[in-house]
Amino acid sequence: MNKTLLAIDIGSANITAVIARNNLDYKINILGTGSYKSDGINKGVISNIEVASKCIKEAVLLAKRNTTEQIDSTVVSISGAYTKGIRSSGSVNIPNGLITENEINQVLQMALYNATIIPEYEVVHVIPIFFKIDDSADVENPLNMNGSRLEVSVFVVTAKKTALTNVQSALKIAGISVNNFVLDSYATAISVLDEQQKKFGATVINIGATTTEFICYKGTSVIYNGFIPVGSNHITNDLSVMLHTPPIAAEKIKTEYGDLLKTNEELANKKVRTPRIGDEKNSSEVSLEHVQTIIHARVEEVLSLVRNNLKKSGIHENLGTGIVITGGMSKLEGIKELATLVFDNLPVKISNPINIKNGYMSFEDPKMATIVGLLLYSLEPNRNFELDSNKNLIKKVKIEEAPQRIEEPISTPTQKAKPIEKEEKIKSEEYIIKGDPNTTILPTISKDKKGKGMSKFWNVITEWF
């Protein structure tokens, strides 16, 4: 039976809700979408259940405005802020020699049983890294194969029970019952990686408003995930503190002048006029070279933290096809070039999620990567098996039966969709920022200059944030 799904991405900047279901050809049909500004959520963690619940409820109500379909199941993203990944393995005998879904479920359950899970943590995913049948080489999909013994190596994602309970409580207050949790970075990777990138290995970095989450794929399986509590909003905070200007003006400077490709020569004598905190009737001039230094330092810090985390974990040497960057900060000009240097000339790609066409909103935006991944995780046929957050086996359609990925228009919604509202512009009537609109910021990116002279700057910044 075709069930209607409610997918909710609980982000630090926005909460996005989408109602969808598969049609008879397994194409995803979007029935409604809603987005509402987040509150009560700090760096991926719920800090105020009542406030967060209200925001979730508003996003869901917006998604429901154009459909009368009853929700059958709900899938919700969870932040990597409170997750841990561990490895485990398991094996079972095959009495009749034929491997069915029952044996695959048994061996995954055995691997979960063998895993050393911290008592205050709960299982979210059990993802196979590889299967083995008898003494054979690694097997991607053992279904319907013959053998006497099936083995599996798995990557287990666990999350703090208290954090999951807080999410469930916020949803319950909003009148929503959650059926499944999906790791934020896992959903993001599903939406931006192609099969070749998954097979040969790639690391997806999702840089959001206040968090950066990353996940590593190899051999079509997850092998590592990580989290850093820093995002694009920290650039705004840095500019506000260092330029002594209100956050609203700092955000406008970031969006209008943020560019990591402009050189010092191009920025020579370029200035921007900004209001001052506490004395907003007066303004002061700031050089764009100084502005670009602040932005460059924070972006470089975020990328360096990810690189160091990967090196410490031993994953850095197995990144395969390279780095894929998505999320709101991926829109910053020059981030690809800077990331290439930070990651020792590995290939870097800026990627948008698959665009599931519909009459409500465009999903072809890096900010939509997680919500698209939730839809694909729940509704798209896939040849891999895994255990979900309820420890149930996710059954997949065979390769030859799986339809093409969703790239065509869907059916007409039950009601006429309201026009998509553009992102609310920053109200800058009181904050007039003057300067060359074509001028952008950043010194020439070079390994020799990278990070020099910034240690004192970061000592000041880290004391503030």
What CATH number is associated with residue 116?
A: 3.30.1490.110
Q: Are residues 127 and 259 in the same domain?
A: no
Residue at 333 is within a domain:
yes
Q: Between β-strands 5-10 and 180-183, what pairing exists: parallel, antiparallel or unpaired? A: unpaired
For 138, 189, 387, the CA distances from 92, given in Å and listed in that order, are 16, 30, 16
Final residue of a structural domain among 158, 188, 218: 158
How far apart are alpha carbons 210 and 181 in whole angstroms? 21
Residue 433 has pLDDT above 70, yes or no: no
Final residue of a structural domain among 158, 185, 207: 158
Q: Are residues 228 and 314 in the same domain?
A: yes
What are 308-354's pLDDT values in tens digits? 999 998 887 767 789 999 998 999 999 999 999 999 899 999 999 98
Residue 446 has pLDDT above 50, yes or no: no
Residue 344 belongs to what H/E stretch? Answer: none
What are 16-46's pLDDT values in tens digits? 999 999 987 788 999 999 999 999 998 888 9
Query: What pLDDT is stored for residue 461 in this prediction?
Result: 42
Number of structural domains, the chain?
2
* Nearest alpha-carbon partner for 405 in 369, 380, 368: 380
Residue at 44 is within a domain:
no
Query: What pLDDT is stored for residue 397 in this prediction?
Result: 57
What are 93-108's pLDDT values in tens digits? 998 999 999 999 999 9
When pLDDT is cut at 50, 70 and 90, the band that residue 396 belongs to is low
Residue at 18 is within a domain:
no
Query: What pLDDT is stored for residue 262 in this prediction?
Result: 80
Angle subtended by helix axes 455-464 and 233-243, to nearest 10? 100
In 10 A of CB 312, how many CB atoms?
Answer: 10
Residue 424 has pLDDT above 60, yes or no: no
Rounded mean pLDDT of the chain?
Answer: 84
Dihedral over Cα of 318, 315, 223, 225: its sign: negative
CB-based contact 412:362 (threshold 8 Å): no
Residue 282 has pLDDT above 90, yes or no: no
Residue 425 tokens, joined: 């512009």
Q: Are residues 320 and 222 in the same domain?
A: yes
Residue at 427 is within a domain:
no
Residue 384 has pLDDT above 90, yes or no: no
Looking at the chain, the whole-number percentage of residues with pLDDT higher than 70 is: 83
Residue 415 tokens, joined: 């009601």
Q: Which residues contact 319 (CB under 8 A, 6 or more apart)?
A: 201, 202, 203, 216, 310, 343, 346
Q: Are residues 148 and 220 in the same domain?
A: no
Q: What is the domain-level CATH number for residue 341?
A: 3.30.420.40
Lowest mean pLDDT among 171-175, 257-261, 416-420: 416-420
Query: What pLDDT is stored for residue 395 in this prediction?
Result: 74
Residue 165 has pLDDT above 50, yes or no: yes
Backbone dihedral region for residue 26 (phi beyond 0: left; psi -120 to 50: alpha; all else: beta)? left
Q: Are residues 309 and 215 in the same domain?
A: yes
Partners of 226 in beta bridges: 214
Q: Are residues 328 and 263 in the same domain?
A: yes
How far apart are alpha carbons 371 and 18 in whole angstroms? 8
What are 350-378's pLDDT values in tens digits? 999 988 988 888 898 999 999 999 999 99
Q: Are residues 343 and 441 in the same domain?
A: yes
Calculate mean pLDDT across residues 379-396: 85
Residue 66 has pLDDT above 70, yes or no: yes
What are 108-154's pLDDT values in tens digits? 999 999 999 999 999 999 999 999 999 887 888 899 999 999 999 99
Q: Are residues 255 and 123 in the same domain?
A: no
Final residue of a structural domain among 135, 158, 181: 158
Q: Are residues 314 and 457 in the same domain?
A: yes
CB-based contact 61:34 (threshold 8 Å): yes
Can you give the residue range of the structural domain that contains 112?
Answer: 83-158
Residue at 293 is within a domain:
yes
Residue 190 belongs to what H/E stretch? Answer: helix 184-192
Q: Are residues 275 and 127 in the same domain?
A: no
When pLDDT is cut at 50, 70 and 90, the band that residue 452 belongs to is very low
